[in-house]
Amino acid sequence: GAVVSQHPSWVICKSGTSVKIECRSLDFQATTMFWYRQFPKQSLMLMATSNEGSKATYEQGVEKDKFLINHASLTLSTLTVTSAHPEDSSFYICSARRGSENTGELFFGEGSRLTVL
Amino acid sequence: GENVEQHPSTLSVQEGDSAVIKCTYSDSASNYFPWYKQELGKRPQLIIDIRSNVGEKKDQRIAVTLNKTAKHFSLHITETQPEDSAVYFCAASKGQAGTALIFGKGTTLSVSS
């Protein structure tokens, strides 16, 4: 299957700092990538849809100024958590489909566990 | 938007028994329904999926059924093994390149030997 890679896998930061998470599609081009957040023992909640070369689309309740998404190339999307607070501590997972329409399978990155002290 | 409900939230079975997890969806335009298995701290892994032009799909011990009229789909695991223990998520989407998956809340399956 296709490979989606995320970095870093773990990050610990101080409250008020910013953290950047990278998501790469290693063997295919992804015009669209999706960012999910997963709190302990909960489901994957869609945060935003990242579109190459244009602005991301955020889900209701997700602050676009706090969770900055950049999709500058067909293989890279980044999520920056700005002014992080302890309540932002979570497991962040990116995902992508291959470019063709009606191809359903979504490939996930390894996830990035953020802990804000 | 799409809303996916999943039941039960926890399921405990004896090794060798069958396990069934059920999901309902709200958007009649959804046409792609995958099931993912997630182990603690790891990424979700696709175990089986079904598209709306099919009513049932089977892969060894795993099967999925889809009822488009009722807007529900189910995961069936037969001959369960301890290594099947994990959290299982159903999801739904329109299956097009720019559409995200919406996930159910998950079912924690425990298989005891």
Inter-chain residue contact A49 with B100, CB threshold 8 Å:
yes
| A67-73, strands of its sheet edge to edge | A4-7, A19-25, A76-81, A67-73
Give the per-residue pLDDT at B54: 84
Give the per-residue pLDDT at A104: 64
Say whether pLDDT at A99 is over 70. no
Q: Å from A84 to nearest chain B CA? A: 21
Residues recorded for chain B: 113
Per residue in A16-27, pLDDT (tens digit) is 999 999 999 998
Give the per-residue pLDDT at B22: 98
Q: Å from A60 to nearest chain B CA? A: 11
Pairwise pLDDT comparison (A3 vs A14), residue with the higher score: A14
Per residue in B14-47, pLDDT (tens digit) is 999 999 999 999 999 999 999 999 999 899 999 9
Inter-chain residue contact A42 with B105, CB threshold 8 Å:
yes
A1: pLDDT confidence band, cut at 50, 70 and 90? low
DSSP state letter for A99: S
Of B34, B41, B96, Cβ closest to residue A102: B96
| A115 contacts chain B (CB < 8 A) | no
B97: pLDDT confidence band, cut at 50, 70 and 90? low
Say whether pLDDT at B96 is over 80. no
Give the per-residue pLDDT at A31: 85
> For the residues A90-98, what does the mean pLDDT come to?
91
| A5 contacts chain B (CB < 8 A) | no
Strands (E), chain A: 4-7, 10-13, 19-25, 32-38, 45-51, 57-58, 67-73, 76-81, 90-96, 107-108, 112-116
Per residue in B41-80, pLDDT (tens digit) is 899 999 999 998 889 999 999 999 999 999 999 999 999 9
For residue A44, give the nearest of A54, A34, A53 by alpha carbon: A34
> For the residues B76-99, what does the mean pLDDT come to?
92
Per residue in A27-81, pLDDT (tens digit) is 888 888 999 999 999 999 999 999 888 899 999 999 999 999 999 898 999 999 9
Say whether pLDDT at A103 is over 60. no
